[in-house]
Protein backbone atom coordinates (compact mmCIF):
# COMPACT_ATOMS: atom_id res chain seq x y z
CA UNK A 1 0.00 0.00 0.00
CA UNK A 2 1.03 3.61 -0.55
CA UNK A 3 -0.39 6.87 0.77
CA UNK A 4 -1.52 9.38 -1.87
CA UNK A 5 -3.83 12.36 -2.16
CA UNK A 6 -7.33 12.13 -3.60
CA UNK A 7 -6.22 14.18 -6.65
CA UNK A 8 -3.36 11.73 -7.23
CA UNK A 9 -5.78 8.79 -7.07
CA UNK A 10 -7.88 10.44 -9.79
CA UNK A 11 -4.81 11.11 -11.95
CA UNK A 12 -3.52 7.55 -11.50
CA UNK A 13 -6.87 6.04 -12.47
CA UNK A 14 -7.12 8.10 -15.65
CA UNK A 15 -3.48 7.59 -16.62
CA UNK A 16 -3.55 3.82 -16.06
CA UNK A 17 -6.67 3.47 -18.18
CA UNK A 18 -5.28 5.71 -20.94
CA UNK A 19 -2.13 3.58 -21.11
CA UNK A 20 -4.32 0.50 -21.42
CA UNK A 21 -6.68 1.85 -24.08
CA UNK A 22 -5.76 4.42 -26.74
CA UNK A 23 -9.41 5.28 -27.40
CA UNK A 24 -9.60 7.06 -24.02
CA UNK A 25 -8.93 10.79 -23.89
CA UNK A 26 -9.43 13.63 -21.38
CA UNK A 27 -11.13 16.90 -22.29
CA UNK A 28 -12.02 19.97 -20.23
CA UNK A 29 -11.08 23.44 -19.07
CA UNK A 30 -7.45 23.72 -17.89
CA UNK A 31 -6.88 19.93 -17.88
CA UNK A 32 -3.75 20.14 -20.05
CA UNK A 33 -1.40 23.12 -19.83
CA UNK A 34 -2.42 23.95 -16.26
CA UNK A 35 -2.38 20.28 -15.11
CA UNK A 36 -6.04 20.58 -14.09
CA UNK A 37 -7.83 23.23 -12.06
CA UNK A 38 -7.22 21.04 -8.98
CA UNK A 39 -4.07 19.35 -10.33
CA UNK A 40 -6.01 16.11 -10.86
CA UNK A 41 -4.46 15.67 -14.33
CA UNK A 42 -0.91 16.61 -13.37
CA UNK A 43 1.66 15.28 -15.84
CA UNK A 44 -0.90 13.81 -18.22
CA UNK A 45 -0.29 16.28 -21.05
CA UNK A 46 3.43 15.46 -20.97
CA UNK A 47 2.73 11.73 -21.14
CA UNK A 48 -0.17 11.56 -23.58
CA UNK A 49 0.17 14.71 -25.65
CA UNK A 50 -2.34 17.36 -26.76
CA UNK A 51 -4.44 14.98 -28.87
CA UNK A 52 -5.46 12.96 -25.81
CA UNK A 53 -5.37 15.64 -23.09
CA UNK A 54 -7.33 18.53 -24.55
CA UNK A 55 -7.85 22.03 -23.17
CA UNK A 56 -11.23 23.48 -24.11
CA UNK A 57 -12.79 26.94 -24.18
CA UNK A 58 -15.31 27.81 -21.46
CA UNK A 59 -18.07 26.11 -23.44
CA UNK A 60 -19.49 23.16 -21.50
CA UNK A 61 -22.35 22.54 -23.93
CA UNK A 62 -19.95 22.43 -26.86
CA UNK A 63 -17.29 20.12 -25.50
CA UNK A 64 -19.87 17.83 -23.88
CA UNK A 65 -21.48 17.41 -27.29
CA UNK A 66 -18.15 16.81 -29.03
CA UNK A 67 -17.23 14.14 -26.48
CA UNK A 68 -20.61 12.40 -26.65
CA UNK A 69 -20.50 12.38 -30.45
CA UNK A 70 -17.01 10.90 -30.38
CA UNK A 71 -18.29 7.83 -28.49
CA UNK A 72 -20.24 6.93 -31.62
CA UNK A 73 -16.99 6.65 -33.56
CA UNK A 74 -15.27 4.37 -31.07
CA UNK A 75 -13.82 6.75 -28.49
CA UNK A 76 -14.15 6.62 -24.69
CA UNK A 77 -13.86 10.22 -23.45
CA UNK A 78 -13.44 11.58 -19.93
CA UNK A 79 -14.98 15.04 -19.62
CA UNK A 80 -13.90 17.19 -16.68
CA UNK A 81 -16.15 19.96 -15.43
CA UNK A 82 -14.46 22.53 -13.22
CA UNK A 83 -17.50 21.96 -11.00
CA UNK A 84 -20.81 20.24 -11.67
CA UNK A 85 -22.46 23.64 -11.23
CA UNK A 86 -21.10 24.37 -14.71
CA UNK A 87 -22.47 21.09 -16.07
CA UNK A 88 -25.85 22.82 -16.15
CA UNK A 89 -24.63 24.64 -19.25
CA UNK A 90 -24.12 21.24 -20.91
CA UNK A 91 -26.90 19.26 -19.22
CA UNK A 92 -28.97 19.04 -22.41
CA UNK A 93 -26.19 16.98 -23.98
CA UNK A 94 -25.92 14.73 -20.90
CA UNK A 95 -29.65 14.09 -20.38
CA UNK A 96 -30.95 14.16 -23.94
CA UNK A 97 -28.02 12.57 -25.76
CA UNK A 98 -25.60 10.62 -23.54
CA UNK A 99 -28.33 9.00 -21.45
CA UNK A 100 -30.52 8.12 -24.44
CA UNK A 101 -28.21 7.12 -27.31
CA UNK A 102 -28.36 3.39 -26.53
CA UNK A 103 -32.16 3.26 -26.43
CA UNK A 104 -32.85 5.68 -29.28
CA UNK A 105 -30.42 3.90 -31.61
CA UNK A 106 -32.08 0.56 -30.88
CA UNK A 107 -28.87 -0.65 -29.27
CA UNK A 108 -26.70 0.19 -32.30
CA UNK A 109 -24.64 2.69 -30.28
CA UNK A 110 -23.62 2.82 -26.65
CA UNK A 111 -22.09 5.85 -24.98
CA UNK A 112 -18.97 4.99 -22.92
CA UNK A 113 -18.21 8.37 -21.36
CA UNK A 114 -17.30 9.70 -17.91
CA UNK A 115 -18.29 13.18 -16.79
CA UNK A 116 -16.25 14.03 -13.70
CA UNK A 117 -15.56 16.98 -11.40
CA UNK A 118 -16.46 18.40 -7.98
CA UNK A 119 -19.97 18.52 -6.53
CA UNK A 120 -21.65 20.29 -3.60
CA UNK A 121 -20.20 23.09 -1.44
CA UNK A 122 -16.55 23.92 -0.88
CA UNK A 123 -16.50 26.84 1.50
CA UNK A 124 -17.46 30.40 0.67
CA UNK A 125 -18.10 30.04 -3.04
CA UNK A 126 -21.61 31.47 -3.14
CA UNK A 127 -24.97 29.95 -4.04
CA UNK A 128 -24.27 29.19 -7.71
CA UNK A 129 -21.03 27.29 -6.96
CA UNK A 130 -22.27 25.24 -4.01
CA UNK A 131 -24.93 22.93 -5.39
CA UNK A 132 -25.28 19.14 -5.24
CA UNK A 133 -26.93 17.57 -8.28
CA UNK A 134 -26.46 13.87 -7.55
CA UNK A 135 -30.23 13.35 -7.37
CA UNK A 136 -30.81 15.26 -10.63
CA UNK A 137 -28.56 12.93 -12.58
CA UNK A 138 -29.62 9.81 -10.66
CA UNK A 139 -33.22 10.54 -11.62
CA UNK A 140 -32.30 9.98 -15.28
CA UNK A 141 -32.50 6.44 -16.72
CA UNK A 142 -29.33 5.67 -18.66
CA UNK A 143 -26.92 7.44 -16.31
CA UNK A 144 -24.83 5.94 -13.51
CA UNK A 145 -23.84 8.22 -10.63
CA UNK A 146 -20.74 7.71 -8.46
CA UNK A 147 -19.73 9.81 -5.43
CA UNK A 148 -16.56 8.51 -3.69
CA UNK A 149 -15.44 9.72 -0.26
CA UNK A 150 -11.74 8.74 -0.10
CA UNK A 151 -8.72 8.10 -2.38
CA UNK A 152 -8.99 4.29 -2.34
CA UNK A 153 -12.60 4.29 -3.45
CA UNK A 154 -12.03 7.13 -5.92
CA UNK A 155 -9.35 5.30 -7.86
CA UNK A 156 -11.06 1.92 -7.97
CA UNK A 157 -14.44 3.38 -8.88
CA UNK A 158 -13.06 5.75 -11.54
CA UNK A 159 -11.31 2.88 -13.30
CA UNK A 160 -14.60 0.95 -13.29
CA UNK A 161 -16.44 4.02 -14.59
CA UNK A 162 -13.98 4.49 -17.46
CA UNK A 163 -14.39 0.83 -18.48
CA UNK A 164 -18.18 1.00 -18.30
CA UNK A 165 -20.02 1.05 -21.63
CA UNK A 166 -22.63 3.51 -20.40
CA UNK A 167 -22.35 7.17 -19.33
CA UNK A 168 -21.15 7.68 -15.76
CA UNK A 169 -21.42 10.86 -13.68
CA UNK A 170 -18.39 10.82 -11.35
CA UNK A 171 -18.67 13.44 -8.60
CA UNK A 172 -15.76 14.55 -6.43
CA UNK A 173 -15.16 17.54 -4.09
CA UNK A 174 -12.75 20.47 -4.05
CA UNK A 175 -12.42 19.90 -0.32
CA UNK A 176 -11.32 16.28 -0.77
CA UNK A 177 -8.56 16.68 -3.36
CA UNK A 178 -5.93 17.11 -0.64
CA UNK A 179 -7.23 14.22 1.48
CA UNK A 180 -4.72 11.40 1.89
CA UNK A 181 -5.39 7.67 2.06
CA UNK A 182 -3.88 4.27 1.41
CA UNK A 183 -4.12 2.84 -2.09
CA UNK A 184 -2.70 -0.50 -3.34
CA UNK A 185 0.47 -0.40 -5.42
CA UNK A 186 -1.04 -2.74 -8.01
CA UNK A 187 -4.16 -2.48 -10.11
CA UNK A 188 -7.59 -2.86 -8.53
CA UNK A 189 -11.15 -2.05 -9.57
CA UNK A 190 -14.21 -1.45 -7.40
CA UNK A 191 -17.43 -2.47 -9.16
CA UNK A 192 -20.14 0.16 -9.52
CA UNK A 193 -23.29 -0.34 -7.48
CA UNK A 194 -21.65 -1.85 -4.40
CA UNK A 195 -21.85 0.02 -1.10
CA UNK A 196 -19.24 -0.36 1.64
CA UNK A 197 -19.82 -0.76 5.36
CA UNK A 198 -17.20 1.63 6.70
CA UNK A 199 -18.02 0.92 10.34
CA UNK A 200 -19.85 -2.06 11.82
CA UNK A 201 -22.51 -1.32 14.43
CA UNK A 202 -25.62 -2.67 16.12
CA UNK A 203 -27.83 0.21 17.33
CA UNK A 204 -28.45 2.41 14.28
CA UNK A 205 -27.62 2.50 10.55
CA UNK A 206 -26.23 5.74 9.11
CA UNK A 207 -26.20 5.93 5.30
CA UNK A 208 -24.18 8.64 3.57
CA UNK A 209 -21.81 9.31 0.64
CA UNK A 210 -19.24 11.84 -0.53
CA UNK A 211 -17.35 14.23 1.69
CA UNK A 212 -20.22 14.79 4.15
CA UNK A 213 -19.76 11.21 5.44
CA UNK A 214 -16.87 12.56 7.52
CA UNK A 215 -19.49 14.14 9.80
CA UNK A 216 -20.99 10.69 10.34
CA UNK A 217 -17.59 9.34 11.42
CA UNK A 218 -17.18 12.19 13.93
CA UNK A 219 -20.65 11.60 15.31
CA UNK A 220 -20.11 7.84 15.61
CA UNK A 221 -16.91 8.40 17.59
CA UNK A 222 -18.76 10.64 20.06
CA UNK A 223 -21.75 8.33 20.32
CA UNK A 224 -19.48 5.35 20.99
CA UNK A 225 -18.37 7.10 24.19
CA UNK A 226 -22.01 6.90 25.31
CA UNK A 227 -22.26 3.23 24.40
CA UNK A 228 -24.18 3.79 21.16
CA UNK A 229 -22.95 1.61 18.28
CA UNK A 230 -23.37 3.10 14.79
CA UNK A 231 -23.13 1.18 11.53
CA UNK A 232 -22.01 3.50 8.73
CA UNK A 233 -22.70 2.64 5.08
CA UNK A 234 -20.95 4.57 2.32
CA UNK A 235 -23.14 4.24 -0.78
CA UNK A 236 -20.21 5.10 -3.10
CA UNK A 237 -22.56 4.63 -6.07
CA UNK A 238 -25.86 6.52 -5.92
CA UNK A 239 -27.17 4.83 -9.08
CA UNK A 240 -27.27 1.89 -9.30
CA UNK A 241 -27.90 1.91 -5.56
CA UNK A 242 -26.92 -1.04 -3.37
CA UNK A 243 -30.42 -1.54 -2.00
CA UNK A 244 -29.58 -4.88 -0.42
CA UNK A 245 -26.78 -3.46 1.74
CA UNK A 246 -29.10 -0.78 3.14
CA UNK A 247 -32.01 -3.12 3.82
CA UNK A 248 -29.87 -5.82 5.44
CA UNK A 249 -28.27 -3.27 7.76
CA UNK A 250 -31.64 -1.84 8.80
CA UNK A 251 -32.90 -5.34 9.51
CA UNK A 252 -29.99 -5.67 11.93
CA UNK A 253 -30.10 -2.26 13.65
CA UNK A 254 -33.83 -1.47 13.26
CA UNK A 255 -33.11 2.25 12.93
CA UNK A 256 -31.98 4.48 10.06
CA UNK A 257 -30.45 7.94 9.75
CA UNK A 258 -29.50 9.28 6.31
CA UNK A 259 -26.92 12.05 5.92
CA UNK A 260 -26.75 13.84 2.56
CA UNK A 261 -25.44 17.24 1.51
CA UNK A 262 -28.37 18.24 -0.65
CA UNK A 263 -31.58 20.24 -0.51
CA UNK A 264 -34.25 18.27 1.38
CA UNK A 265 -36.97 17.99 -1.29
CA UNK A 266 -36.84 14.93 -3.56
CA UNK A 267 -33.24 13.94 -2.88
CA UNK A 268 -31.33 10.64 -2.61
CA UNK A 269 -32.26 10.35 1.07
CA UNK A 270 -35.93 10.52 0.08
CA UNK A 271 -35.45 7.52 -2.25
CA UNK A 272 -33.68 5.55 0.48
CA UNK A 273 -36.50 6.35 2.92
CA UNK A 274 -39.06 4.98 0.46
CA UNK A 275 -36.92 1.89 -0.16
CA UNK A 276 -36.71 1.03 3.54
CA UNK A 277 -40.39 1.57 4.28
CA UNK A 278 -41.19 -0.60 1.26
CA UNK A 279 -38.79 -3.47 1.95
CA UNK A 280 -38.04 -3.30 5.69
CA UNK A 281 -40.98 -1.51 7.31
CA UNK A 282 -41.66 -4.25 9.86
CA UNK A 283 -38.05 -4.10 11.04
CA UNK A 284 -38.13 -0.38 11.90
CA UNK A 285 -38.36 0.54 15.59
CA UNK A 286 -38.46 4.28 14.82
CA UNK A 287 -39.27 6.58 11.91
CA UNK A 288 -36.42 7.19 9.46
CA UNK A 289 -34.62 10.52 9.95
CA UNK A 290 -32.88 12.27 7.06
CA UNK A 291 -30.37 15.09 7.50
CA UNK A 292 -29.87 17.58 4.68
CA UNK A 293 -28.87 21.19 4.07
CA UNK A 294 -31.31 24.00 4.75
CA UNK A 295 -33.92 24.45 2.02
CA UNK A 296 -32.34 27.62 0.66
CA UNK A 297 -29.53 28.52 -1.76
CA UNK A 298 -26.15 28.20 -0.05
CA UNK A 299 -25.26 31.42 1.81
CA UNK A 300 -21.90 33.17 1.36
CA UNK A 301 -21.59 34.29 4.99
CA UNK A 302 -19.38 31.82 6.88
CA UNK A 303 -21.69 31.97 9.91
CA UNK A 304 -24.78 31.22 7.83
CA UNK A 305 -22.96 28.58 5.78
CA UNK A 306 -22.05 26.72 8.96
CA UNK A 307 -25.72 26.68 9.94
CA UNK A 308 -26.79 25.68 6.42
CA UNK A 309 -24.58 22.58 6.21
CA UNK A 310 -25.28 19.33 8.07
CA UNK A 311 -22.71 18.53 10.77
CA UNK A 312 -21.81 15.88 13.32
CA UNK A 313 -24.03 17.46 15.99
CA UNK A 314 -27.00 17.07 13.65
CA UNK A 315 -26.13 13.40 13.26
CA UNK A 316 -25.82 12.90 17.03
CA UNK A 317 -29.25 14.50 17.58
CA UNK A 318 -30.80 12.35 14.84
CA UNK A 319 -29.34 9.14 16.24
CA UNK A 320 -30.60 9.94 19.72
CA UNK A 321 -34.01 10.76 18.26
CA UNK A 322 -34.40 7.35 16.63
CA UNK A 323 -33.15 5.72 19.83
CA UNK A 324 -35.67 7.77 21.88
CA UNK A 325 -32.89 9.23 24.01
Nearest-angstrom CA–CA distance, 208 and 210: 7
Q: Which residue is catalytic, options 12, 29, 80, 129? A: 129
**In the annotation, is 129 catalytic?**
yes
Cα torsion through 46, 50, 51, 55, rounded to 10: 130
**In the annotation, is 60 catalytic?**
yes
Q: What residues pair up with 291 in beta bridges, in sequence order?
A: 259
Q: Which residue is catalytic, options 12, 60, 174, 231? A: 60
Using an 8 Å Cβ cutoff, are 67 and 31 in contact? no
Q: What are the phi and psi torsion angles at 313 (to 5°)?
A: -65, -35
171 — alpha (psi -120 to 50), left (phi > 0) or beta?
A: beta
Q: Residue 119's CB: how many other CB atoms inside 10 A?
A: 29
Cis peptide before 240 (omega within 30 of 0): yes
Q: What are the phi and psi torsion angles at 24 (to 5°)?
A: -90, 135
Positions marked catalytic? 60, 129
Amino acid sequence: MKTIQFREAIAEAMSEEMRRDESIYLMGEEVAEYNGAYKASKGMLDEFGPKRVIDTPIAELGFAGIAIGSTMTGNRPIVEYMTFNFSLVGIDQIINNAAKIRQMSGGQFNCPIVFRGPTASAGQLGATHSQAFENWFANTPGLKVVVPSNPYDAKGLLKAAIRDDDPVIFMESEQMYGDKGEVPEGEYIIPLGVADIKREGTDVTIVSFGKIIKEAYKAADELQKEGISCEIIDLRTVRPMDRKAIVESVKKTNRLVILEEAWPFGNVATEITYLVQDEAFDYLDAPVVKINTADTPAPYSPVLLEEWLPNSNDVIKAVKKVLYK
